[in-house]
Amino acid sequence: MTGPIRTRDRFDAVQAALLCSVCGGQRHYAPEIDAMRCDSCGTESAITDEDHPDPRLEQAYDPSDWEDEPPEVDHAHRCETCGGEVVFVGRAISERCPYCDGAVVLFGGHAHFVPSGLIPFGNSRDQVVDKMAEWLRGRWAAPSDLMVQAQDGHLAALYAPFWTFDASKAIDYRATKRTGRGKNARSRRVSGHLFMNFDDVIIAASDHVTPALRDGIMHGFDPDWLRPYRPEYLAGFAAELHGMRVSDGLAALGRDIRVQIEKRIRDDVGGTVSDVTYSAQTSGIRFRRVLLPLWILHYHYGGKPKRIVVSGIDGCCFGERPYSFAKLLAYSAGTVMAAFLIGALIGSGLAPG
């Protein structure tokens, strides 16, 4: 494992490389121009990716090989509330955790794996604020002051760790198939064999990215959008690096695709199916470690913390929101009144035929 002095030197070299060549100020990645911009003089400079490996390439997984420990990271910050670990490249842009908005403190850091690529932020802060406002306005039965409360929240930008997995599954299954009705109903055990291929399945490599959050914003992943992993893309943003092993990701993949496998089995059997059991042999596993961009708004309503998340790729929005009980009661009363009026019209013979 690389010692802390060498790690410190490497981190300092990265920080120095992010300084502006014109005035020496700190630079950050600006999504609206897909380039670096100096915080002091505004000089813009492109990011060159030609000399780096193609981030679209996948790595084959061999379960017989132990994964080497990656270099230690000694500039990470740990959240005192949720335990999340984030890295700030360039200027320290926040003292809050992008996941839960808790306070973060500098600590020695754990070992992390270097990602093979990332998708840089494709939307600016102003665009994300507009997207969140549009999402909030569209919430049914929302409190009238929801927009005002959300505007007082804290908006964080984060690169979150994910895997992409390819795999093939050879599946042997057994199930109970029910046919007929009433006295003619019969049940029998059936068995079969299936083969399924999975391509670029997105799996979160962090306990802080829930399946609901991932499914709410990550749609239509395209490996052509990937860029080589470079510190320049992280400058001005927070990032959680990969701390889990591929075997952890494969366990999550198995849980994630279980529903798809069982649905495929039910479709293969046909009719009314129950008591599905199966065993699967996995082969052809290939993976990438990637970072994907998220915008997270933390706000409070009624003293309870809530968050809205926007994909930094395509602006897809997903979030938590309160309801106005007064509006819910009004809608319920309106529905009852409408039903009563329709019933009265039908009873009087005045309803249109």
What long-range pairs does 323-327 form, CB within 8 A, spacing at least 24?
323/141, 323/142, 323/143, 324/141, 324/142, 324/143, 324/144, 327/141, 327/142, 327/143
Q: What is the pLDDT of residues 23-67, one digit of tens each?
A: 988 888 999 999 999 988 999 999 887 778 899 999 998 877 766
Residue 340: what pLDDT?
A: 54
Q: Is 264 exposed, middle or buried (0-12, 13-18, 19+ CB in 10 A)?
A: middle
104 touches 79 (CB < 8 A): yes
- The span from the CA of 5 to the CA of 10, in Å, is 9
- The span from the CA of 257 to the CA of 267, in Å, is 15
Q: Which helix (H) or strand (E) holds 250?
A: helix 246-269
- Name the residue type at position 304: K
- The span from the CA of 200 to the CA of 224, in Å, is 12
Pairing state between β 317-319 and 304-311: antiparallel
Q: What is the pLDDT of residues 265-307, one digit of tens each?
A: 999 999 899 999 999 999 999 999 999 999 999 998 888 888 8
CA 215 to centroid of chain Cα atoms: 7
Sequential pLDDT tens for the chain (353 residues): 344 444 555 555 566 678 888 998 888 899 999 999 998 899 999 988 777 889 999 999 887 776 655 655 556 777 777 777 787 765 554 567 787 777 776 655 566 788 889 999 999 999 999 999 998 888 887 778 888 888 888 898 989 999 999 999 999 999 999 988 877 888 999 999 999 999 999 999 988 888 877 887 777 789 999 999 888 888 888 888 888 888 899 999 999 999 999 999 999 999 899 999 999 999 999 999 999 999 999 998 888 888 899 999 988 898 887 775 666 566 566 565 566 556 555 555 444 44
Q: Is 203 exposed, middle or buried (0-12, 13-18, 19+ CB in 10 A)?
A: buried
Give CA angle at 96 (91, 101), nearest 5°.
Answer: 150
71 touches 55 (CB < 8 A): no
